[in-house]
Structure formats: C-alpha cells, structure tokens
Amino acid sequence: MIDSAWFYRQLEARGGSVRDLARFLELDPSSVSRMLRGERKMSAEEQDGIAAYFGLPLADVAARRKGETTGFSEPGQEPFAMGSEMEMVRAIRPEHRSGGRTSPQGSDTSLSFFERIRSKMAGTVTVMPGVDLTEPADPDWARVYDEDHDKTFRF
C-alpha cells in the first residue's frame, strides 16, 4: 500500500500541489490524486518522474510507493543506514578503506559491514532453549550427507 502521507508531505515541503505534480508528469490531476491515495497503481515512468520532481533518489520513492520502508527491521527497531555506494565498498573491501574516517551518518568506515550491522541485529532472532539449529529437520535426508552413506536413494 502506498505511503500517501509521505508523498503529500514531500509536496508540502516543496511548496507544490497535486496539480503541479500532474503538470510535471503530464498527467490529469485527478489521475495523480487517485495514484497518491492508492486507488491507482503508479507506473515505473511515473515513479521516475516523481523522483525527479521531488529531487530525491529513486529508491526513496520506490520504497514509499509500496509503503515498505523498514526493510528487514521489526516495528520499533532502529533502521540500518546503508550509506552511499562508495561507503559500502570501503566498508566491505579493506583496500578501499579511508583510514578510519567517519561517514556523514557517523558510522566508522574502518569497521567491516558485518561489524557495523552486528549491533543492529541484536534481539531480532530468538532461539528457544533446547533447539539445535544445526540438527537436520529430516533424519532420512541427513543420511545423504553422511560420509559412509552410499549415494543411492531407496524408495
């Protein structure tokens, strides 16, 4: 479901109206109004045009178009800021690191991507006591992976 409130806030912040956006997209104002209320689907071309009109990254508009902005986080959990593409490259590839400079979001680029997300993932998965995640769910299927098992199946 589209995040209508976000789109209307963007229009207000820009000092625009649905009619201005419709003129920019070369669409009928009622069509744009229905689209922003979720009564009509937004096409890829319209999504591109809206991103250009707002001056925002396409990914922001695409996320709000579907109304899903939390990614993998749970409700109430702090979202993980990925940063720019170059920040991701520096975080994952040590040869591109920049001597421990901090990014604009305040995350330390000298840490690996996995070190940065570790604290963000805390508390997202709960394993009940006595549950072994490495135990095969189907013991017969586990025999296929045993070294001494012949590789033929018998039904």
Q: Could you tell me the CATH number of the domain that includes residue 60?
A: 1.10.260.40
Q: What is the pLDDT of residue 131?
A: 83
The answer to whether residue 123 scores a pLDDT higher than 80 is no
> Does some domain include residue 80?
no
End residue of a domain, out of 20, 35, 66: 66
Residues 47, 101: one domain? no
**What pTM value is reported for the model?**
0.46
Q: What is the pLDDT of residue 54?
A: 93
Residue environment code for 29-53, b if the CB has 16+ CB neighbours within 10 A, otherwise e: eeebbebbeeeeebeeebeebbbeb
Instruction: Give the domain range for residue 50.
Output: 4-66
Q: What is the pLDDT of residue 53?
A: 94
Domains held by the chain: number: 2
Q: What is the pLDDT of residue 68?
A: 58
The answer to whether residue 57 scores a pLDDT higher than 60 is yes
> Does some domain include residue 133?
no
> Does some domain include residue 143?
no
The answer to whether residue 64 scores a pLDDT higher than 80 is yes
Cβ neighbours around 64 below 10 Å, total? 21
> Does some domain include residue 78?
no
Residues 59, 14: one domain? yes
Residues 59, 96: one domain? no
Residues 92, 60: one domain? no
Residues 47, 99: one domain? no
Range with the poorest average pLDDT among 16-30, 81-95, 123-137: 81-95
Residues 40, 11: one domain? yes
- Residue partners of 78: CB distance under 8 A and separation at least 6: 120
- Residue partners of 50: CB distance under 8 A and separation at least 6: 7, 21, 25, 42, 61
Average of pLDDT values for 48-57?
92
